Structure 1
């Protein structure tokens, strides 16, 4: 009987304790909602920030690593992190420098040749035109001489016939002794002299024919020269095209040299931003490939808070509302502002999005990411790092 009473008493005490705890929790919750009637909070939150991956731009062999670049060390922007062997790229730069010099020399020569070629082509055209005009004038002169020579032949031939007729008539008279021998000799001399003049006139006419033929042949040659000289615009255009071609080759070689110089410059691995080193994976003598990850840099001041609120808490939440961020690791509160609200729930951003069209749908309250901009980070020191756990409370509109 005593044992039964003892067990009954313990059960009563346990029940009383449970009731007391339930009442206390209800009271605390009621007090919280009285004090903070317009506040929503979540502990599904963390500090987020930029984590910059530092990759190699080119492949090569690491010859030097900065001893002040180690995991958890802070480095400033512009710090040389490591060196790659430049001997893999220096010969290419030297060769392309020579090609650039050769291309520039060819371009300079083409530019100098352009006015010379233009002047030569135009001079040839002018000379060919003048030569053709001269040949035309020679032909006109030869034709005029031919006309004069033919007239002279006709006149001389008439004189010769008259003189020859006189000689024949006087020859008959001298045979009958009607005239003296001296008179006949005079007529014979006149006939012979006129015959010589006729032969000379005929020879001059034949010479005029030859000159006409020579002039016509010369005109054909000058016309051929003129047709060749009339290609002056094409010759000038060709010289200009050579300048443009040489200029293009120069630009091409300069671009190749620039790329080679960039590759040579990439043998110095430089920190693009200031931050804390993480995931360092490089050592002297290591052979690396292009775009290989060497380390990461996390700027300690470039951080913000990401809080995942339940969709049932989003009814009154708006951008610009004040927020309080409690950092678990340092037990400190930071003030902030709602900067943006995610465009979809976290499940939609997952690698495998949920498919509710399976016939086994179970309603689960979704969460939306909310970004909080933190105030006073400059005076806080490097206390907030990406990944830290936090609790976020947002004072929403009533």
Structure 2
């Protein structure tokens, strides 16, 4: 009976569930392939909760704040979307770069830095104009005079996807015992 329980648990662990619905990208696994724990199989992209990382020059950040309304123009389809500023990075792109912006003598080179600003698409805008593929070119215009309330994106989510159904296991054991009894 212990072997049956182990086999049942191992079979349940072969099922892979996604916590979100979306489109599979960067698939790195094929049917029948054995995979190991921690191996990246693919990426699931939720196209209904998309955002932009717009890299503004540090001189452009003076008046940008959370909640600013944003007009987003797509080069792909020419349509105009709307969005809202929901985050400003804690550092410029070069602050987190592998190679620092200094020359061999240790002197810092003055280069205008770019700071990533997160802009979330308004869902109504996506529904009206259609979803954009990741990596497409966009032009953004931030209205620093107009702000809106930002929804809380960090809501705790719980999942029961990997919970093993003990009742199903006990039913299977009962069925096997009953079918093999005299």
TM-score, L = length of structure 1? 0.33
* Aligned match of 1:390: 138
* Aligned match of 2:87: 340
| Structure 2: stretches of 5+ with no match in the other structure | 146-182
Q: Is the 8 A contact 1:300 1:382 kept in 2?
A: no
- Asked if 1:312 corresponds to 2:54, the answer is no
**Alpha-carbon separation, structure 1, partners of 2:78 and 2:102:** 40
Match of 2:101 among 354, 368, 372: 354
> Which structure would you say has the larger Rg?
1
Q: Structure 1 279/317 Cα, relative in aligned 2: closer, same or farther at 3 Å?
A: closer
**Alpha-carbon separation, structure 1, partners of 2:125 and 2:13:** 34
Shift of 1:359: 4.4
Q: Is the 8 A contact 2:81 2:126 kept in 1?
A: no
- Asked if 1:292 corresponds to 2:39, the answer is yes
Q: Which has the higher contact order (CA 8 A, sep 6+)?
A: 1
SS in 2 for 1:379: helix
Q: Is the 8 A contact 1:347 1:366 kept in 2?
A: yes
Shift of 1:386: 2.2
CA RMSD of aligned residues (A): 2.5
* Aligned match of 2:3: 95
Is the strand fraction higher in 1 or 2? 2
Shift of 1:314: 1.3
SS in 2 for 1:322: strand
- Asked if 1:325 corresponds to 2:72, the answer is yes
Q: 1:214-248, CA deviations, whole angstroms, 9 ceiling, x for partnerless residues? A: xxxxxxxxxxxxxxxxxxxxxxxxxxxxxxxxxxx
The 5 A counterparts of 1:13-92 are none
Q: 1:258-298, CA deviations, whole angstroms, 9 ceiling, x for partnerless residues? A: xx644320222333321112222333442332232222211
- Asked if 1:369 corresponds to 2:116, the answer is yes
The 5 A counterparts of 1:1-398 are 94-95=2-3, 97=5, 261-355=8-102, 358-375=105-122, 376-380=124-128, 382-397=130-145
Shift of 1:312: 0.9
**Alpha-carbon separation, structure 2, partners of 1:286 and 1:334:** 41
**Alpha-carbon separation, structure 2, partners of 1:382 and 1:335:** 12
Shift of 1:357: 8.3
Shift of 1:305: 1.5
**Alpha-carbon separation, structure 1, partners of 2:10 and 2:125:** 39
The alignment covers a number of residue pairs equal to 144
Shift of 1:378: 5.0
Q: 1:134-155, CA deviations, whole angstroms, 9 ceiling, x for partnerless residues? A: xxxxxxxxxxxxxxxxxxxxxx
Q: Structure 1 394/381 Cα, relative in aligned 2: closer, same or farther at 3 Å?
A: closer
TM-score, L = length of structure 2? 0.67
SS in 2 for 1:383: coil
